[in-house]
Amino acid sequence: MAHIPPRPVSDYHWLIRPFLRRQRRKYGAVLAPSLLWARLPMAFLGMLAMLGIFNRRRFPLDRRLRSLASIRIAQLNGCHFCVDLNAYLFLAASGEEAKAERVAEWRQHEDFSTTEHAVLDYAEKVTTACGEVGAADIDALRQHFSDDQITALTAWIGFQNMSAKFNAALGAEEHGFCQADRSY
């Protein structure tokens, strides 16, 4: 249960209400993080704008890899909503349900590619020990990605950490998008 109670949609800023109503039509309910973010209308609109940029087809990093990193970031931050949503997005992009369920133990499974290992390793390090990221970490990524892609990955990881930390701290409830394993 969210630590901050939601308001009726009609009580949110007029710029935000259409977005909340659209979520209700699409998902059957307004998503818990939206009801929290909507308390800060301009920040919410800014976050949505960033999300729109990240979700463009021409974004330099593959959607499947972004979703895979997002699952792990959500696990590390204890954001059940984010695990739920990102496992769903990973399944939609890849169809690999078993892999979505094993993200927490990615080092022990051979079906994660070297590129996926690089992404997950970097996502973990940025999430848990960002100040320790160094040239060797970036060089390891260069075996798989261009500098623009590394920048895009880092931006995505930062965005996902912000989102996961916000949602976890305020107790945003999961929606039930995906039934991937939550025993991380």
Quote the pLDDT of residue 43.
97
Quote the pLDDT of residue 178.
75
Where do we find the tokens 């979703």? Answer: 67
Phi-psi region at 171: left, alpha or beta (left = phi > 0; alpha = psi -120 to 50):
left
The string over 58-67, giving b where at least 16 C-beta atoms fall within 10 Å of a residue's C-beta and e elsewhere, is eebbbbbbbb
Per-residue model confidence as pLDDT tens digits over 102-156: 999 999 999 999 999 999 999 999 999 999 999 999 999 999 999 999 999 999 9
Quote the pLDDT of residue 1.
74
Please say whether the beta carbons of 170 and 163 come within 8 A.
no
When comparing pLDDT for 157 and 177, which is higher?
157
Query: What distance in Å separates the CA atoms of residue 134 and residue 117, rounded to the nearest whole number?
Result: 17
Please say whether the beta carbons of 13 and 23 come within 8 A.
no
Quote the pLDDT of residue 180.
54
Per-residue model confidence as pLDDT tens digits over 59-104: 999 999 999 999 999 999 999 999 999 998 899 888 888 899 999 9
Give the residue from 83, 97, 111 showing the smallest Cα distance to 167.
83
Query: What distance in Å separates the CA atoms of residue 171 and residue 179, rounded to the nearest whole number?
Result: 19
Would you say residue 183 has pLDDT above 70? no
